[in-house]
Chain A
Amino acid sequence: MSDTITLNCLGNGSIALVKEVVAEGLTRRRLLDLGLVPGTKVEVIRRSPVGDPIAFNIRGAVIALRREVAGKVLVSPWG
């Protein structure tokens, strides 16, 4: 099995598969609603000029998440 890291640790351009969302409450629901369910492929597109937030390609939509929120998504690097 590949390693598990959090989404915010990935470099720009890398792709990963969602393993688990560890956030609770509203944040968890929001992340799931975006389609971050286990098995989803996520691509890191870019970081804002000051490094935070980070923009991801989630199911074809470009979504920006703040670092601490992205840190609540466990992923395994893909490819």
Chain B
Amino acid sequence: MAHKTLTPLLEEAQKIAGPHQGQFRDSIVTGIYRTAEQIAGDVVSHTSTKRQDLDRQIDNIITSPVWGFPVMFGVLAVVFWVTIAGANVPSGILATGLFWIEARLTDLFMALNTPGWLHGFLVLGVYRSLAWVISVMLPPMAIFFPLFTLLEDLGYLPRVAFNLDHFFHKAGAHGKQALTMSMGFGCNAAGIIACRIIESPRERLIATLTNNFVPCNGRFPTLIALVSIFIAGSVSLSLSSAVATLAVAGLVVFGIAVTLSISWLLSKTILRGEPSSFTLELPPYRKPLVGQVLVRSVLDRTIFVLSRAIVIAAPAGGLIWILANTTVGDASVLSILAGWLDPLARFMGLDGFILLAFILGLPANEIVLPILIMSYVCGGAMTELASLTDLRHLLVDQHGWTWLTALCTMVFSLCHWPCGTTLFTIQREQHNWRWTLLAAMIPTTVGVIICMLINNLVRAIGLV
């Protein structure tokens, strides 16, 4: 009722204000700023401009036409290199320790005379996949995440957005998409939530639909492990971590290129429109609280990985063991499923087990590689996998992987459906199952097409 009587009044007010409405707004803002300026002038005193000058000198280098992009690539490479070189040793120690415990558990089950299937399900299924997730995934995450948090705290990320904005502009996307992508390195679900900082719905959708092309913390260790096994394995030891670093950095740059192309395609087709205006603050550099960042993010990551391992990897490990040990006719359910997927997977340069691992890894990307190893190991005789050399032996000698298989697996890891948590987050943010579906379809389509191209081109040329 109230609004009926109000409407004519409002209309009249609007008629009177009409052409001057903008001026009111302007004079209010001007007034506020004048007052603020006065107050600030009275109470704030600047003693020196040294800090500001230093900031500008730093910016002179890291946003310069000559050094801007090399510095960006260099920082990325250093972060990867530290992660790759640093994760190796703790990974090995964790694996040795956890598999020693597995052996003791087996002894215990033997001593208690438990039935074979119970030992298989609990130790070879549940416990082993836990051990795998922790030893392969935890060290890279615990190193990469704090490093990235340090960069964030320093104030470097807005400079990256500043450097890259032109390309996002060209792609019809928002400059802050560089920031949401950076968040995606930590976790794509977090990246999706970060898309809230983009005001225009069109550009927020573009950023949301393409966030998955940035490898999250759950996929990084997979990429790092495969790169270390294949690319670094084929050069001399002293060069290997440098080569692995370049390969991972190359993959990330490839992911960024795909992000930009798909953003461009989206803004030319289903999400047509002009890029909206945006302002980006380049905040002063701050000295990060190194100790605090290290302790907090290492602890946070450890707890995060451990909880994911227990909630998702453990049940998945049990399921895989059941699938691998339930036989229909002569073959296990796992190999039957893999067999169905095999023709398509082979055409993409993968094999049925790899594709199946990606599908079963839907709940969390962390478990894709462990699932794959589990399904390879369950059928075979191999029980000890304490190092990357053992893993190389399993993949190359027992399952016929070539560098092409590894490359296609890495590309598919970079470009396939987002994990369950991310899809759930997209649904919650967008409230529209069509966008959620599209968020899964776009990367999958891109991944399938690129893998098919790579596989068939390489084979046609005869490189493998």
Chain A interfacial positions (CB closer than 8 Å to B) = 23, 26-35, 37-38, 40, 45-46, 48-53, 55, 61-66, 68-69
Chain A residues near B281 (CB-CB < 8 A): 61-64
Chain B residues near A62 (CB-CB < 8 A): 55, 281-284
> Contact: B277 with A64, CB < 8 Å?
no
Chain B residues near A49 (CB-CB < 8 A): 63-65, 68-69, 163
Between A and B, 7 residue pairs with Cβ closer than 8 Å are A27-B276, A48-B163, A48-B165, A49-B69, A64-B279, A66-B165, A66-B278
Q: Identify 8 new A-B residue pairs, CB closer than 8 A, beyond the known A37-B33, A64-B279, A69-B277.
A: A27-B276, A46-B60, A46-B63, A48-B162, A61-B281, A63-B281, A64-B280, A65-B277
- Complex CA distance for A55 and B166, rounded to whole angstroms: 13
Chain A residues near B26 (CB-CB < 8 A): 32, 37
- Complex CA distance for A55 and B56, rounded to whole angstroms: 11
- Complex CA distance for A28 and B60, rounded to whole angstroms: 30
- Contacts A38-B30, A62-B282, A64-B282; is A53 near B166 (CB within 8 Å)? yes
Query: For A37, A51, A65, A68, which residue has the most chain B Cβ atoms within 10 angstroms?
Result: A37
CB of B239 within 8 A of chain A?
no
Chain B residues near A51 (CB-CB < 8 A): 166
- Give the B interface residue count (CB, 8 A): 33
CB of B346 within 8 A of chain A?
no
Q: Give which listed residue, B33, B56, B169, contacts A45 with CB less than 8 A.
A: B56
Q: Give which listed residue, A26, A29, A66, contacts B175 with CB less than 8 A.
A: A66
Chain B interfacial positions (CB closer than 8 Å to A) = 22, 25-26, 29-30, 33, 55-56, 59-60, 63-65, 68-69, 162-163, 165-167, 169, 175, 199, 275-284
Chain A residues near B59 (CB-CB < 8 A): 45-46, 55
Chain B residues near A69 (CB-CB < 8 A): 277-279
> Contact: B166 with A50, CB < 8 Å?
yes
Chain B residues near A23 (CB-CB < 8 A): 277
Query: For B59, B65, B69, B166, which residue has the most chain A Cβ atoms within 10 angstroms?
Result: B166
- Complex CA distance for A66 and B30, rounded to whole angstroms: 23
> Contact: B63 with A66, CB < 8 Å?
no
Chain A residues near B166 (CB-CB < 8 A): 48, 50-53
Chain B residues near A63 (CB-CB < 8 A): 279-282
- Complex CA distance for A20 and B25, rounded to whole angstroms: 14
Chain B residues near A64 (CB-CB < 8 A): 162, 165, 175, 279-282
> Contact: B30 with A37, CB < 8 Å?
yes
> Contact: A53 with B162, CB < 8 Å?
yes
> Contact: A53 with B65, CB < 8 Å?
no
> Contact: A65 with B163, CB < 8 Å?
no
What's the minimum C-beta distance from A79 to chain B, rounded to whole angstroms?
17
Q: Which residue of A lies closest to B31 (CB)?
A: A37
> Contact: B277 with A27, CB < 8 Å?
yes
Q: Which residue of A lies closest to B36 (CB)?
A: A35
> Contact: B64 with A66, CB < 8 Å?
no
What's the minimum C-beta distance from B433 to chain A, rounded to whole angstroms?
29
Q: Give which listed residue, A30, A37, A38, A48, contacts B279 with CB less than 8 A.
A: A30
> Contact: A53 with B25, CB < 8 Å?
no
Q: Which residue of A lies closest to B281 (CB)?
A: A63
Chain B residues near A53 (CB-CB < 8 A): 162, 165-166, 175, 280
What's the minimum C-beta distance from A63 to chain B, rounded to whole angstroms?
5
> Contact: A55 with B29, CB < 8 Å?
no
Chain B residues near A34 (CB-CB < 8 A): 279
Q: Which residue of B lies closest to A45 (CB)?
A: B56
Q: Which residue of B lies closest to A24 (CB)?
A: B22
Chain B residues near A31 (CB-CB < 8 A): 279
> Contact: A66 with B282, CB < 8 Å?
no
Chain B residues near A28 (CB-CB < 8 A): 22
> Contact: A26 with B25, CB < 8 Å?
no
- Complex CA distance for A52 and B279, rounded to whole angstroms: 12
Chain A residues near B283 (CB-CB < 8 A): 62
> Contact: B63 with A48, CB < 8 Å?
yes
Which 10 interchain pairs have the tightest Cβ spacing? A49-B68, A62-B282, A50-B166, A64-B280, A27-B277, A37-B30, A32-B29, A69-B277, A49-B65, A52-B166
